[in-house]
Amino acid sequence: MRYDQPQLRDKLAAEYVLGTMTGRVRARCQRLLRYNAALRRDVAAWEMRLAPLTDLTSAVNPPARVWRAITARIGNARKKTGYWSDVGVWRGLAAVSSAFVLVLATVLFSREPPAEEPVSTIAVLANDKSQPAMVVSLPAKTSAAQQHLKIKMLAQLELPAGKSFELWMLPGGAATPVSLGVIKADLTQTIQVTDAASRLLPKISGLAISVEPAGGSKTGLPSGPVILSGPWIKIL
């Protein structure tokens, strides 16, 4: 079958979501799904169409041992692999690393040297496809009282109407993210860092950007989708 034909593809997606396929056909379809973005979209559309049928299924409380097994497993995974290596957005580590070196070289060396302050710590934030999209850097030798972060977008990010981008510090471990405030959609900008945030900055493990209601999250924690994240790396 030729799955680049929209109608065949849609039929395959519908049967896949309905779940009537044998194991062998299902496995073949899953292999196709890995490479075929159009098929993934069709599958998502069918999941949405049929989702209300789930309303007919009654809820049953699972025994407490299920939650214990889950927490044991995510706890172990983190001890083994560390904080950043199991973050979903960080999958294409190799791709990001090489891009990171390029970006770093650009930031550090390629612009008018006299105007550019030396950088002490830097984060390259990547999207869920591991593509670098933003560089956040902390200039060296700023006094603790008046720290500021420089933000450079590598491509214009689309800001949905009525929304704001908010920058977060990720303390790592089980600690919750701490806001650095709302940022503009401008390609380059500088934001002031409060004293409290300045004290936390040297200790965090990463930064992230989420999409929030205009003016920033109402809850004090990220409430919208996290679109970018990356580790915070000390270089000076």
Partner 1 sequence: MAADAAFPQPEALEALLSRCALHDQRAFAELYRYTSAKLFGVALRILRREDWAEEVLQESFVNIWNHAAAYAAAKSQPMTWMTSIVRNRSLDWLRRPRQEDTNVDYDLLVENVRDDSADPLEQLAQSAEASALARCMTLLDSQQRQSIALAFQHGLSHSELATHLRQPLGTIKTWIRRGLERLRSCLDGART
67: left (phi over 0), alpha (psi -120 to 50) or beta: alpha
**CA nearest neighbour of 210 among 101, 134, 152, 120:** 134
Between 57 and 143, CB nearer to partner 1: 57
CA distance linking residue 72 with residue 75, whole number of Å:
5
Task: State the number of binding residues for partner 1 (CB under 8 A).
Answer: 63
Q: What is the DSSP string of 187-227?
A: SEEEEE--HHHHHHGGG--EEEEEEEETTS-SSSS--S-EE
Q: x/- site string to partner 1, residues 133 to 172, per CB under 8 A?
A: -----------------------------------x-x--
Site for partner 1 in 70-109 (CB under 8 A): 70-71, 73-74, 77-78, 83, 86-89
Between 55 and 158, CB nearer to partner 1: 55
203 binds partner 1 (CB under 8 A): no
Between 202 and 225, CB nearer to partner 1: 225
Between 15 and 116, CB nearer to partner 1: 15
Helices (H), 93-169: 93-105
